[in-house]
Amino acid sequence: MDFTQINNFIMVNLQYVLLGMTAIIFAALLIFININLKLSRMNRRYQKLMQGVEGANLERLLHAHIEEVREVVTKVNNLSHQCKELDIICNNSIQKVGVVRFNAFEDTGSDLSFAIALLDGHRNGLVLSSLFGRSESRIYTKPIVNGQSTYLLTTEEKEAIAKAISAQDSK
């Protein structure tokens, strides 16, 4: 097909071509109006959003909030680190105590003797024993490592350690 044939076709069907072009232009006009309305609504929302609170710019508000969030994250990290340090300190501090009162000598009338086990979170510490007699009183201490002692323990001292460990394990 050459140019003259196309030209003749358009001239013969000019009314249909103009009708089609008018329909296309009308559809384009409707699309343009629709897009313009949406853009206008979006522009109003954008202006309202950019106005922000009390006339402040949204960008400045966002930067301020981001800075606050960074500060909070830093504080939370510091608190987490301090909490871990406190856990370590707490595990190395006396946490549980086991006490057993007993009568060391049959000739004394009450349970004035005692054994106290003082243990940390690792079952380390000491057992303190006091033997009360009529004429004198003696106090002994024995180290405890992982719930055991290298020294020979009395029944009461073992019982005090067991009470402290069971109190620690029930935690």
Model confidence at 71, pLDDT cuts 50, 70, 90, reads very high
The domain limits of the chain are: 52-89, 96-169
* Residue-wise pLDDT tens digits, 120-157: 988 999 999 999 888 888 999 999 999 999 999 999 99
Predicted structure pTM score: 0.55
Q: Please state the rounded mean pLDDT for residues 65-84.
A: 96
Buried b / exposed e over 73-111, threshold 16 CB at 10 Å, is eeeeeeeeeeeeeeeeeeeeeebbebebebebeeeeeee
Most confident residue range from 43-52, 71-80, 104-113: 71-80
Residues in Cβ contact with 128 at an 8 Å cutoff, skipping those fewer than 6 apart: 115, 116, 117, 118, 139, 140, 141
